Amino acid sequence: MSKPSAAPTHPESGVREAVRTLHPGYFALVMATGIVSIAMQYKGADAVSVGLLWLTCIAYSILVALNAVRFVAFRADVAADLAHPLRGFGMFTFVAATNVLGTRLAVDGHYRAALTLFVVALVAWVILGYVVPWTAVLGHRPRPTLHIANGAWFIWVVASQSVAVLAAVLQPELGSGQRELALIAVFSWSVGVFLYAVVAVLVIVRMMMYPFEPDDLTPPYWVAMGATAITVLAGARIVEMADAPMVAATRGLIAGASVTFWAFGSWLIPALVAGGVWRHFVHQIPLRYDATLWSIIFPLGMYGVGALYLGQADQLPVVRAIGGVEIWIALAAWGCTFVAMTYHLLTTVRLHPIRELGRRSSDS
């Protein structure tokens, strides 16, 4: 007699389970691929840049479709994510991914498509900016909630600054609405700066007041550096915008603040590398593929692009040279992570159900 089993009996069930458990932060894949594509375009590697752009569009389309299916078929899981202090903030990756893709399309002159993506991202940023903190933090029980502060919260900052980047990219290219886009760019950049200060304080206090184990040092902590890098890029883009009242009033302030953020982000990199050594070598926690690994690749790419644009906007050749070297490191890291992701998807979505069928046959 066959033993009862709750394991999947068809390969399709593996896909269904993958959709049900899809991490809301998986849009970091789009963010990472898009920013590396922008970096390669800036360095003149057009073939690589276009290839990465196609991958960005494909990944974005697939993830939008999967999340739409997940929202309809697995609403309880979506609601659970909204109430989760780590996965909930991962939803901001949709905002950032939409803006990164829009920015890359704008680089190639597809301004209408970029503007459409900008509107979608802006609406999502406003809605999620109120919903996620309320459900994932303020609505969390029991209290106090300080112990749940973590690096994933910096994605909120990245989403805010991504709005500023795309608004600043589109502003000089549009015949109308330049003042409105300038206002949005400066507004979202300013909100992002204040959010960075708030999140940084909460995370630092959490690390000092509660035990901080190697398991707690997850890849999203790299977003702390990525948030500074995109703040730099947004600031450099705002400095280069066409003249508008809001730009004229803040250009000098934003230019100086961008240099400060670049310096702090550069200081964070050795600390984050040391944290990785402490986690994986000292405490021997295996390095396995996880969706949150893209939270490392995006900051690496964004740091390089931010340094390139800052060096150009503020005439800082040393900063520009550093960015020019770092983007190749980001490309190599992207390639390794993409291979790991492909292997992971093949083994978990396709092979796992087949293995379960074989296990059931042997138990019959």
Per the structure, how many domains does the chain have? 1
- What does the pLDDT read at residue 5? 43
Q: Does residue 158 sit within a domain?
A: yes
Output 86 or 226, whichever has higher pLDDT: 226
d(CA 82, CA 250): 35
315 pLDDT tier (thresholds 50, 70, 90): confident
Q: Does residue 13 sit within a domain?
A: no
**DSSP conformation letters of 40-94:** HHHTT-HHHHHHHHHHHHHHHHHHHHHHHHHHHH-HHHHHHHHT-TTTTGGGHHH
Indicate if the pLDDT at residue 4 is higher than 80.
Answer: no
Is the pTM higher than 0.75? The answer reads yes
- What does the pLDDT read at residue 304? 94
d(CA 15, CA 19): 6
- What does the pLDDT read at residue 144? 72
Which residues have a Cβ under 8 Å from the Cβ of 221 and sit 6 or more positions away? 150, 151, 272, 275
Residue type, 132: V
> Of the ranges 241-250, 278-287, 322-331, which is most confident?
322-331
**DSSP conformation letters of 196-253:** HHHHHHHHHHHHHHS---GGG--GGGGHHHHHHHHHHHHHHHHHTSPP-HHHHHHHHH
Indicate if the pLDDT at residue 181 is higher than 50.
Answer: yes
d(CA 342, CA 244): 46
Of 280, 270, 155, 269, the C-alpha closest to 217 is: 280
Q: Does residue 207 sit within a domain?
A: yes
- What does the pLDDT read at residue 36? 96
Percent of the chain with pLDDT over 90: 57
Q: Does residue 362 sit within a domain?
A: no
Mapped onto helix, strand or coil, the DSSP state of residue 38 is helix
Percent of the chain with pLDDT over 70: 90
* Strand (E) or helix (H) holding 353: helix 352-363
- What does the pLDDT read at residue 143? 66
Q: What's the whole-number mean pLDDT along residues 232-256?
A: 84
Indicate if the pLDDT at residue 356 is higher than 50.
Answer: no
Q: What's the whole-number mean pLDDT along residues 261-265?
A: 94
Indicate the average pLDDT of the chain: 87
pLDDT, tens only, 106-138: 999 999 999 999 999 999 999 999 999 888 777
Could you tell me if 330 and 34 are in contact, meaning their C-beta atoms sit under 8 angstroms apart? no
Indicate if the pLDDT at residue 233 is higher than 90.
Answer: yes
Indicate if the pLDDT at residue 307 is higher than 50.
Answer: yes
Q: Does residue 60 sit within a domain?
A: yes
Q: Does residue 361 sit within a domain?
A: no
**How many CB atoms are located within 10 Å of the residue 333 CB?**
17
CA distances (Å), 247 to each of 174, 181, 189, in order? Answer: 16, 10, 12
Q: In which domain, by residue range, is 244 found?
A: 23-351
Indicate if the pLDDT at residue 44 is higher than 70.
Answer: yes
d(CA 359, CA 364): 9
- What does the pLDDT read at residue 137? 79
- What does the pLDDT read at residue 161? 96
7 pLDDT tier (thresholds 50, 70, 90): very low
Indicate if the pLDDT at residue 6 is higher than 80.
Answer: no
- What does the pLDDT read at residue 183? 92
Mapped onto helix, strand or coil, the DSSP state of residue 359 is helix
Q: Does residue 4 sit within a domain?
A: no
d(CA 220, CA 196): 14
- What does the pLDDT read at residue 311? 87
CATH number at residue 150: 1.50.10.150
- What does the pLDDT read at residue 217? 83
Mapped onto helix, strand or coil, the DSSP state of residue 153 is helix
Indicate if the pLDDT at residue 58 is higher than 80.
Answer: yes
Q: Does residue 237 sit within a domain?
A: yes
Radius of gyration of the chain (CA): 21
Q: What is the 3-state secondary structure (H, E, C) of 11-28?
A: HHHHHHHHHHCCCHHHHH
